Amino acid sequence: MHRSLLHRLGVALLLSIGSNLHAQAATTSLCSDSLGQSVAFLQGDWDGRSYSVSGRDTVLDALMQVHSRPLFDRCTLEERWEAAKDGRVLFRARVIRAYDAATQRWSVHYVDDQLNSQIYEGRQEAMQWRFYRTRLDKGVPIQVRLTWRPTKTGYEQLIERSRDGGAHWDLGGVVTFRSRPGAGSR
């Protein structure tokens, strides 16, 4: 009788673990249908040119190198960024684009060697993903919106800002990326 009870408890435990693993797998696969597929073009090794935009003026800020790889059933994208100008490294950063199953939201987590840390919340709008955060500029809240989109030769990152709660957006920067020769991107 004691063995029978232990056997039943063991079977119940295995069924419970299997059920939890199945539930986790179902949750994980949800992310692949949205952002996971729509930003797959970001994977690989990239060379970029980062520009500041102010009205009609565009200034080259840095040359960028990005290495991006998928993690966790493509529900996370891990990136290593490096920006340089005139042969000098300006910053190194790590970026994680991740899906949170509990809230069913995407976010971008950015941290660099200059101790800048930023978190952006993803929203799907106009058939594309955009990422938002609010920061202060001289005590005034400014919304920042990032958009990554594929181009014929690679992809681009748009950096926009709004000082009126999102009613109007101004382009503040753009980074254009091309696949690094011989790196086998995408």
Any idea where the domains of the chain sit in the sequence? 37-179
C-beta contacts of 73-78 below 8 A and 24+ residues apart: 73/28, 73/29, 73/31, 73/32, 74/31, 74/32, 74/36, 74/40, 75/28, 75/31, 75/32, 75/36, 75/99, 77/39, 77/42, 77/43
At the top level of CATH, the class of 37-179 is mainly beta
Predicted local confidence at residue 178, as pLDDT: 94
The neighbour count for residue 101, using CB atoms within 10 Å, is 14
Sign of CA dihedral 71, 72, 73, 74: negative
Predicted local confidence at residue 180, as pLDDT: 86
Pick out the chain residues at pLDDT < 70. Answer: 1-39, 183-186
What residues does 171 pair with on adjacent strands?
Answer: 160
